[in-house]
Amino acid sequence: MKIIAKLLYIVITIIETTIAIRIVLKLLNAPPHNPLANIIYRYSDLFLRPLAGLGGTTYFEGILIDVNAIIGLFFYMIIMFIIVEIIKALSM
């Protein structure tokens, strides 16, 4: 069970890192036709699609803020915590 928890932790960390990089790229106004930005936008979209429409995007003093991605970070963090705690409880 501990191996499953560690594997899940690695997968969720990769997802959250991808979403965090997306947030930074949006803040820096990176164009989607840039190869690196395109890869990050494409892969992070896979994980943010279930949350589409919750936050959208907004501008703050001319800076684009991807609220949906921020919500996604918290969502996956909470999901990871819950699943890992359930695995720990079942392995006792």
The count of domains in the chain is: 1
CA torsion 47-51-55-56 (nearest 10°) is 60
The pLDDT mean for the chain works out to 86
* The residue count for the chain: 92
**pLDDT at 11 exceeding the cut of 80:** yes
Confidence of residue 49 (pLDDT cuts 50, 70, 90): confident
pLDDT at 82 over 80: yes
Residue 7 Cα to chain centre, angstroms: 17
pTM value? 0.83
Residue among 89, 86, 47, 38 nearest 68 (CA): 47
| Residues 47 and 72: beta-carbon distance below 8 Å | yes
- Domain residues for the domain of 73 are 2-90
Query: Which of 82, 53, 86 is closest to 68 using CA atoms?
Result: 53
Report CA 73 to chain centroid distance, whole Å: 4
